[in-house]
Amino acid sequence: MEGEANRFASELLMPSSWASSLLQSAGDFGGAVASMQKQADVSTIASAIRLISFSPPNHLFAFCDADGVVLNAGRSPGTVANSPGWNQALNPDYLNRNAADRGEILIGSSCLYWWRLADTVALSPTGDSPEWREMLNNILDDLGYSASDRHHVRQSINGVIGATNSRMRARPELLAALIQRFDSKIVEGGIFSELPHHPKFRDFLAQRVRGLLT
């Protein structure tokens, strides 16, 4: 009942049709949040939570306290990158480096951060690039993975690629989605803490995407 009451209040104060039109007219997510906050006389975070559900894919936000700890975060439908973890210090590096646009709104000592990630990443010319399996072997060599660990690493990488490809259905946006997905896993640690940082990892992903799109 409490959830239904909250949804009713949200629709009453911030109607769906109005939220959608704000996103189209404001120019960016931050502008839409500021407009909704002012016109509906609601909080910044309430505006962000409402608007993120109507935003196109690849939009994310994080609401942080004065110490940079995430109190609330979310992502728009269809976004493959993970949103920042709640009750953790904000680590926006994986979002900043893939952002086509981003901004922040100060609210007293707190801050709302938002990102719009790039929808596509251009496939660079193939040139004399090696086959993707060779590229991955070279990356694993550089990172010093033992022979016993490599099977698990390959399985994990293929699992992320397979799941993302199934979701994207081999569209041209697949490379951007894979980059975002792997980058957002850096904060999880383990085998994903180093892989996305390797200078040849994105080239490896590009080779995989070429194979999947043909």
> What would the pLDDT profile of 2-61 be if each residue is shown by its tens digit?
555 456 557 767 889 999 999 999 989 999 999 999 999 999 999 999 999 999 999 999
Cα gap 198→194, rounded to integer Å: 7
Please tell me the predicted confidence (pLDDT) of residue 14: 85
The answer, yes or no, to whether residue 136 has pLDDT greater than 90, is yes
pTM for the predicted model, two decimal places: 0.85
pLDDT of residue 27: 87
Mean pLDDT for 194-208 is 93
Q: Which of 85-89, 92-96, 127-131, 170-174 has the lowest mean pLDDT?
A: 127-131
Q: For residue 171, which of 120, 126, 107, 109 has the smallest C-alpha distance?
A: 120
Summarize the confidence of residues 163-182 as an average pLDDT.
Answer: 89
**Which residues, in sequence order, are CB contacts of 145 under 8 Å at separation 6+?**
153
